[in-house]
Amino acid sequence: MIVLDITVMNVALPRIQTDLHFSPTGLSWVMNSYSVVFGGLLLLGGRAGDLFGRRALFIAGAALFTAASLAGGLAPTAGWLLAARVVQGIGGAMAAPNTLALLTTSFPDPKARMRVLAWFSGMSSAGFAIGLIVGGLLTEWLSWRSVLFINVPFGLVVVVLAVLNLPAAQREPAHLDLPGAVTATTGVATLAYGFISAASHGWGDPVTDITLAIGAGLLAAFLVIESRTAQPLLPLRLFTDRNRAAAYTNIFLVPMAGMSMFFFLTQFLQDVLGLSALATGFAFLPTAVLMFTMIRLIPRLLPRFGPQPVTMTGAVAMTAGLILLTTLTAHSGYFPVLFAAMLLLGCGIGLSVSPLNVIIMSNVEPHEAGAAGGALQTLQQTGASLGLAILVTVFGTAARDAGGTAQHALVGGMTVAFAVAAGIAALAFVVALTFRTRQR
């Protein structure tokens, strides 16, 4: 529900703009207000769950997210909707990292833990593709408000089932690292804002440069604070394990490359192929199906082959899919190139991402599960924001240089962006080589 909300709004944006009279630049903040707050608070939400109780943070976050979804669906003005999206981001940041921590600590058996973490990873990855399908269906059949209202019944069920079934989690006798919390939250949020500004205004824009410099400085200060704090917000020893460090690196790189598919292909399907919002959503069905298939396979593949060959195969499939997208032209249809690329990317993202959650969370200390989950999701969110900013800038430059008709320029910019994304996916393959081979 939380990950789906990142993409489900995309298809509804044109109708939101018409109904609530957003300006073209203001409309982007329907997405960005959620992303900045969600990304900025993930580390704090994870560590707060470790200290104050993951069950309580999870239930409160899910309830807040649900209430904000209802308020957003009822929004009479643009400002109301943006405020609701900010509150959604706060609720999401409370619930998401504690979801991972609760799964990790509730399943002590390694096989069961691997299975549930693979399910979690597959569900969150597929949420990006499913969001486009659900957004297309609801926007076409009902209205844009329904993409927010749909969270309400699911959110209520989640809260009720959590109250009835989740055991009370043990609280750690510790204090919250407030200097770390302030520098981490403001640093990640500032970086996210800088990446969004880069995507909108380019890397040479003064606001972009200043914001990114401030964000980088705050994160550097955060790392210094964490290295000197007895009870840090993010224990740096989480990165000393080689496999976990490589998994953290790839959880940053894979969304950098993968987000380009959802962002640019949505435009290609609607602006070049002329598909409706509903048809655009269903065009991503092969990707979603392959991701769900990988959910079923990962618990069998990972114990048998180990993380290295599984993640390497995923990175190769993802790279191949992105390379295939570089062959698109203004006259390309959905079959065969686009369909084949969708299959490869669904397989690649599923195999590349699903093992990473298992690797990161499987042997983490229980009292640090929230921090580990918060770091995982922060890197994932930051990687997606940075990747989109880089690729949108590449797209804009290439589209201007392509010349010709508007469609020719659009597709020309996209293919160059896909080539850069393929390079990032290839880098994820290189990182996958550093995983330890399976020990018999």
Going residue by residue through the chain, which has 440 residues, state the pLDDT in tens, using 9 for 90 and above.
Answer: 887 777 777 777 778 888 998 876 677 788 778 888 888 888 889 888 888 889 999 999 999 999 999 999 999 999 999 999 999 999 999 999 999 889 888 888 888 888 888 888 777 776 776 777 777 788 778 888 998 998 999 999 999 999 999 987 666 666 778 898 889 888 888 887 888 788 777 788 898 899 999 999 999 999 999 998 888 888 898 999 899 999 999 999 998 898 767 778 888 888 889 888 778 878 888 888 888 788 778 888 888 888 889 999 999 999 999 999 999 998 999 999 999 999 999 899 888 888 888 888 878 888 788 888 888 888 888 888 788 778 888 888 888 888 778 888 889 999 999 999 999 999 999 999 998 865 43
Please give the Cα distance from 31 to 39 (Å, whole number).
Answer: 12
Chain mean position to CA 77? 28
How close are the terminal C-alpha atoms of the chain, in Å? Answer: 38
Tell me the two tokens of residue 342.
Answer: 């969708």
Domains observed in the chain: 4-432 (1.20.1250.20)
User: If we measure between CA atoms, which residue out of 390, 407, 423 comes closest to residue 267?
Assistant: 407
Number of H helices, E strands in the chain: 18, 0
322 close to 261: Cβ distance less than 8 angstroms: yes
Q: What angle do CA 185, 190, 193 make, to 5 degrees?
A: 130
Q: How far apart are CA 130 and CA 119, in angstroms?
A: 15
CA–CA dist 52, 174 (Å, integer): 9
Q: Model-level pTM? A: 0.84
Query: Environment class of residue 401 by beta-carbon count within 10 Å: exposed (0-12), middle (13-18) or buried (19+)?
Result: exposed
Q: How many C-beta atoms surround the C-beta of residue 347 within 10 A? A: 24
**CA–CA distance, 179 with 246 (Å, rounded to integer):** 28
Burial classification of residue 234, based on how many CB atoms lie within 10 Å of its CB (0-12 exposed, 13-18 middle, 19 or more buried): buried
In this structure, the dihedral spanned by the alpha carbons of residues 237, 213, 89 and 27, taken in order and rounded to 10 degrees, is -150
In sequence order, which ranges of 77-167 are alpha helices (DSSP H)? 78-106, 110-141, 146-149, 151-165
